[in-house]
Structure 1
Amino acid sequence: MSNDTEQRPAAGTSDGAADGPRWSRLSPRLLWVNLSMLAGPLALFAVTVALTGANLQAVISLGSLVITFLVITGISTMRLLTTRFRVTDERVELRSGLLFRSRRSVPFDRIRNVDIEAKPMHRLFGLTSLRIGTGEQTAASSRKLSLDGITRRDARQLRRLLIDRRGSGRVTGQDADVTIAEMDWAWLRYAPLTVWGVGSVFAGVGTVYRILHEMKVDPLELGIVKDVEDRFGSVPLWFGILVTVVITALLGAAISTATFVDAWTNYRLEREQDGGFRIRRGLLISRSVSIEERRLRGVELAEPMLLRWAGGASLSAIASGLSNTDENRSRCSLTPPVPRDEALRVASDVLAEEQSPTQMKLVPHTRAALRRRINRGLMVLAPVVALLLGLGLWLTPVLVHTAWITALVGLPVVIAFANDAYRALGHGVRDRYLVVRAGTFTRRTVALQRDGVIGWNISRSYFQRRNGLLTIGATTAGVGCYKVRDVSVGVGLAYAEEAVPQLLAPFIERVPRG
């Protein structure tokens, strides 16, 4: 954290109150939260002993886990006993540690965000965590000043105090916070259309298998697995594969739906009186995220393939000063998966525009970009077909038939995906924004403020040079690079000049005609 200072209390005073405002402590209720961390490992230990008959390897592994959690609980309790914080006229200060003491402070004008998050056990005891970020990106300063374990009432009051003293973007003149969007449970129909839930099924199965393997427990020898094998071991292979795919898809949809409910219950997007934005959401883990309007650089409309087919989309803010690109993505979601029209409405409200710039008609790219996408698809399909053909010639003729069927089916699929990716390509300039769109499995449309662009990143591969193409990316401070992919050289450079005049001019050598 930047601007770290040491504040030593005056000798003979209690908590250093003589040299400024009184130091405050974390809530004593945090002790119960720390002790509750042991409940999970102890319960897992008891269940494992009951199921495995006190297997020595399992007892040793889980015993190590319990000891680890005991150490973590001890460290957390020490943090409770040693942490002090206060707010002065100019800064917020924090000191903690017994053996290794840390004393840090952040001036109000360096505060970029004040977020509140409450995990389930914290909520059970009426506690929450308040995190203060400065938006800096170096390893030493990117850590947040965090108060983990204060009451909800104190967190709300402290957040309001810090925002008022910090000062924010423009003042709107409104007397109260204005709600831009709030939860509509009709949106739940979009939850199963996020495919990462299926990935969670495979990840969960792999994790369980690995844990059991480390405990020297063979999952295939468990009673429930043997019972399933006895009941369904004689069914045809194709039927077993079909049932497995259906069960995996249903489990994935269920996980995606449960995650949606947990992440977006109590969702509300508000424009606050100081002109900033506040996103509140969460069922088990309650979150409250703030974004300064003066840090807002644009919006990103994301349309994963299944969600796009259902007419849905999700919206994220593009904001600078949030430490790094990963943090921008994790905390700047403005909406859950919603109808596309709703996402566009929220985008126009957030950007204070009559119509969202992401709705503009974009300039299509040259047909050479389509050929590149077809070639990429064929480069994926060809090795698969070749592998099946080779194995078929070596092992069994069945795989030879599988190879030509894969080629026959895969070729139109490749061409269809390539055409979809080509149709997604586009770029344009509208008023204060440059707009970029690309993507097949997830189509992303970015509207970026032109005055936020600080440079252009131009790259050309060997095959792009042969086709007269380039990829040009608009870079912004603390946000990232947004690329216009596979655009012809003349069109790409003209686009950069139109979007941000004279920024690229010193690096262009103009060749006279004739």
Structure 2
Amino acid sequence: MLAVHPVQEIVRFLPVLIGVLFIGSNGQGHIWTLVGLGLAVAGGLLRWFTTTYQLTPTHVRVRRGLLRRRELSVPRDRIRSVDLTAHPLQRVLGLSRVVIGTGRSDRHDEGVTLDALATPAAATLRQELLHRTAPVERAAPEGTTVAQLSPSWVRFGPFTLSGIATIGVVVGSLANLFNETRLDPEEFGLLRSVIGQLASLPVPVAVGEITVFAVVLVAVLSALAYILAFWNFRLVRVDGTLHVTRGLLTSRSTTIEVRRLRGAEISEPLLLRAAGGARCMAITTGLRVGRGAEHGGSVLLPPAPLAEARRVAGEVIGDADPTVHELAGHGPRAHRRRYTRAFAFAAIVTGVLVLLWWLARWPALPWQISLALFPAGALLAEDRYRNLGHVLLGRRLVFRNGSLVRRRYMLSSDGVIGWVVHRSFFQRRAGLVSLTATTAAGRQHYTCPDLPTAEAIALAHDAVPGLLDPFLVRRE
């Protein structure tokens, strides 16, 4: 830790140190950079000297801070997950970062963090904290590998578009560096030659070249990000838990208790769906969801073939039928509502642009291009309707919706703790409602939009008998 923490602090303050180095006044930038470097190292050392932790039969306690002392205490019966991560320097030194989650899945406070412990001690700590009770009955033999990364799955990396975020970070950092150091980008020969070459081309050709370059760059970076995040991926069922390990440079290990599992989600973003791929995520308590799911959260399978995602989801929940079963549609009123919303949006945009062309003398090209929103909206509306569906299979509630990202939720009825029946003004006119199942797991609410009212109430009543009885008015 005496090696890890100072390095982490230096990396954290690196932009500031570079700025001080280049814009230091009176030629003293190097001196102030060394001072800043010393402060960063001192901060890293203080974190080690002032951090202690204690494990008791009932609590986990962590105390840190010098001027501002802080003690965090977590009851052991509230622990939902223990995740291990190790970046390259930690792996070289045989250390792991331990994050003890308490179920606050999408908050800034991730729970108790111990950074860093010896890797064997971290693994022992996780085993002790998660297996505080007798193991539950297993659905598969101990140590069964449920899924393992295939090198051929890397072909799905470019369709995740994760490289766009990398490009944004790099461009923003370079722009900030040029601004702080007052450097002129045209002073760099390669950049100057590229700008000159683009300036000499016709505008359509230049735009085409930039587009092709951007697409190739995003694809390459996305594939690289896929390899870094999911290389060595394995999903193993052992001793009443699911263990997920992955990562090329930074290794991550996540443990999911089967007894806290409430279902699974199959997610198909539009580009990934076009390539025949999908992701699989757990619906469980104590793990990050949404954007945080892929950073040590609830991912059960990285982007992979759809058939593989269905197989893994079926094995995890113990039933393959919900992953492929035909879903009930939502009827002609839901179909009409999809088209009405799409055409209303296109009409408003086109109308505003026509008014600007007529009254403010804007060019006619914008409103002419906006006419393409009508056929595009029709295609989107049809796809959104075809993806709507629901079914109740025994004690398993299945919802599907979305177009840009199609999601299929397979939620155990035993995990549903309440219902929300929402009706907007236009839904009331159409006799439709949005039915939301609330749960303590995953996203904590799963919505089936635009169901006929009577069908929604019947579905909720059948899924969790008795829960709606106090609110129902029965006709004689």
Q: TM-score, normalised by structure 1?
A: 0.82
- Structure 1 residue 128 and structure 2 residue 96: aligned? yes
Partner of 1:8: none
Q: Shift in Å at residue 161 of structure 1?
A: 2.9
Distance across 2 between alignment mates of 1:37 and 1:229: 37
Superposed, which structure 2 residues align to 1:107-506 within 5 Å? 107-135=75-103, 143-164=110-131, 166-167=132-133, 170-172=136-138, 176-202=142-168, 204-217=170-183, 219=185, 223-273=189-239, 275-322=240-287, 331-353=297-319, 355-390=320-355, 392-393=357-358, 399-407=363-371, 409-479=372-442, 480-506=444-470
After superposing the two structures, state which structure 1 stretch, 292-301 or 367-376, moved more.
Answer: 367-376
Q: Shift in Å at residue 237 of structure 1?
A: 1.0
Distance 1:61 1:82, change over 3 A: same
Distance 1:509 1:59, change over 3 A: farther
Distance 1:296 1:139, change over 3 A: closer
Native 8 Å contact 1:317 1:332 kept in 2:
yes
3-state secondary structure, aligned to 1:336: strand
Q: Shift in Å at residue 510 of structure 1?
A: 3.7
Native 8 Å contact 1:435 1:448 kept in 2:
yes
Structure 1, gaps ≥5 residues long? 1-29
Distance across 1 between alignment mates of 2:218 and 2:227: 14
Distance across 2 between alignment mates of 1:356 and 1:486: 24
3-state secondary structure, aligned to 1:283: coil
- Structure 1 residue 508 and structure 2 residue 472: aligned? yes
Q: Which amino acid aligns with 1:345?
A: R
After superposing the two structures, state which structure 1 stretch, 57-66 or 492-501, moved more.
Answer: 57-66
Q: Deviations over 1:251-274 (max 9, x none)?
A: 11112111110110111101112x
Q: Shift in Å at residue 244 of structure 1?
A: 1.6
Q: Which amino acid aligns with 2:192?
A: K
Native 8 Å contact 2:17 2:36 kept in 1:
no
Q: Deviations over 1:381-427 (max 9, x none)?
A: 33443454455557878x424532441x3322111111000000001
Q: Deviations over 1:180-201 (max 9, x none)?
A: 1111111111111113433543
Native 8 Å contact 2:85 2:98 kept in 1:
yes
Native 8 Å contact 1:37 1:69 kept in 2:
no
Distance across 2 between alignment mates of 1:76 and 1:366: 61
Distance across 2 between alignment mates of 1:105 and 1:341: 44
Q: Deviations over 1:95-116 (max 9, x none)?
A: 3333333444445433221111
Distance 1:60 1:319, change over 3 A: farther
Distance 1:60 1:226, change over 3 A: farther
Q: Which amino acid aligns with 1:352?
A: G
Distance 1:426 1:357, change over 3 A: same
Q: Which amino acid aligns with 1:156?
A: A
Distance across 2 between alignment mates of 1:346 and 1:192: 22
3-state secondary structure, aligned to 2:326: coil
Q: Which amino acid aligns with 1:76?
A: G
Q: Which amino acid aligns with 2:246?
A: R
Distance across 2 between alignment mates of 1:76 and 1:154: 22
Distance 1:324 1:393, change over 3 A: closer
Distance 1:63 1:37, change over 3 A: farther
User: Aligned-residue CA RMSD in angstroms?
Assistant: 3.4
Distance 1:378 1:49, change over 3 A: same
Distance 1:168 1:264, change over 3 A: farther
Distance across 2 between alignment mates of 1:58 and 1:304: 54
Distance across 1 between alignment mates of 2:78 and 2:17: 49
Structure 2, gaps ≥5 residues long? none
After superposing the two structures, state which structure 1 stretch, 419-428 or 486-495, moved more.
Answer: 486-495
3-state secondary structure, aligned to 2:66: coil
Distance 1:42 1:60, change over 3 A: farther
Distance across 2 between alignment mates of 1:329 and 1:44: 26
Distance 1:190 1:103, change over 3 A: same
Distance across 1 between alignment mates of 2:308 and 2:27: 53
Identity %: 34
3-state secondary structure, aligned to 2:364: helix
Q: Shift in Å at residue 230 of structure 1?
A: 2.1
Q: TM-score, normalised by structure 2?
A: 0.88
Q: Deviations over 1:157-192 (max 9, x none)?
A: 22223334x126514397742111111111111111
Q: How many residues align?
A: 474
After superposing the two structures, state which structure 1 stretch, 185-194 or 243-252, moved more.
Answer: 243-252
Distance 1:341 1:324, change over 3 A: closer
Distance 1:96 1:195, change over 3 A: closer
Q: Shift in Å at residue 300 of structure 1?
A: 0.5
Distance across 2 between alignment mates of 1:483 and 1:138: 18
Q: Which amino acid aligns with 2:384?
A: A
Q: Deviations over 1:211-256 (max 9, x none)?
A: 4334444546765443323222121111111112211111111121
Q: Deviations over 1:80-137 (max 9, x none)?
A: 1232334445544433333333444445433221111112221232211112223258
Distance across 2 between alignment mates of 1:485 and 1:493: 13
After superposing the two structures, state which structure 1 stretch, 305-314 or 59-68, moved more.
Answer: 59-68
After superposing the two structures, state which structure 1 stretch, 376-385 or 451-460, moved more.
Answer: 376-385
Distance across 2 between alignment mates of 1:422 and 1:466: 19
Q: Deviations over 1:468-501 (max 9, x none)?
A: 1111100002541111101111111111112112
3-state secondary structure, aligned to 1:98: coil
Q: Which amino acid aligns with 1:489?
A: T
Distance across 2 between alignment mates of 1:365 and 1:478: 26
